[in-house]
Chain A
Amino acid sequence: DTGVSQDPRHKITKRGQNVTFRCDPISEHNRLYWYRQTLGQGPEFLTYFQNEAQLEKSRLLSDRFSAERPKGSFSTLEIQRTEQGDSAMYLCASSRLTGAQMGEKLFFGSGTQLSVL
């Protein structure tokens, strides 16, 4: 168990540029989540996958955001045409669960801190 890995740790970009983040979950974890955390706030749910299927996407999520998990292993989160309001820490979490229950323990990565200038 090497933990959830996120890359990069920090990303600075100019407004209007596209950025992509990567998350490597714990091996054999079938669920993968993306959250966003701004200063002074708790994390906010963005989207989640079960295996390679994206099962839910937050209604608050702009169309500029897209996530993939092509082979049910690692995931990428892309933000197109970044805005200053996108500046935040982007957290990835994974879990292993069978069935429909939602009370499983999530294992979080250390996040990617995005700064949009």
Chain B
Amino acid sequence: AQTVTQSQPEMSVQEAETVTLSCTYDTSESNYYLFWYKQPPSRQMILVIRQEAYKQQNATENRFSVNFQKAAKSFSLKISDSQLGDTAMYFCAFRQGGGGGADGLTFGKGTHLIIQP
């Protein structure tokens, strides 16, 4: 079974700073997908960024980028120019590709990110 580990229960940074959230995972598969989801106080999970394991290039979405280290099984999220609206729980998630992904997403326990004004 796959596992996802987020070692930082909570982080706090000042507005406009850059912050990096850590995530490691364990799998024996080669075909998989990695995600970062954000859960604000409204509770609705929102996809932040997605990475396909077969792609060597790190995914980027505006102020959000990842550092995907496949050999190390590491998938960190970098948020640049942080904004107050970035305050939320952030979950790292894994999903096996193809038919093996029928068990859905495996989530980590989350990191509570607080952006201070």
Contacts and interface: CB of A to CB of B under 8 A. Distances in A.
Interface string A103-114: 101101111000
A91 interface: yes
A74 interface: no
A48 B33 contact: no
B interface residue count range (under 10 / 10 to 19 / 20 to 34 / 35 or more): 20 to 34
Interface stretch (B70-78, B79-87, B100-108): B100-108
A106 B100 CA distance: 17
Interface string A65-94: 000000000000000000000000101010
Residue of B45, B96, B108 most packed against chain A (CB within 10 A): B45
Interface in B82-117: 91, 93, 95-110
A interface: dominant SS: loop
B103 A100 contact: no
Given A103-B95, A110-B44, A42 B104 contact: no
Interface bin, chain A: 20 to 34
Contact of B43 (A45, A89, A100, A101): A89
Contacts, number: 68
B7 to A, nearest CB: 14
Interface string B14-57: 00000000000000000001000100001111110010100000
Contacts of B37: 108
Given A40-B109, A100-B98, A103-B33, A91 B104 contact: no
**Nearest 8 CB-CB pairings of A with B:** A102-B101, A42-B107, A45-B104, A103-B33, A108-B45, A56-B102, A110-B44, A42-B91
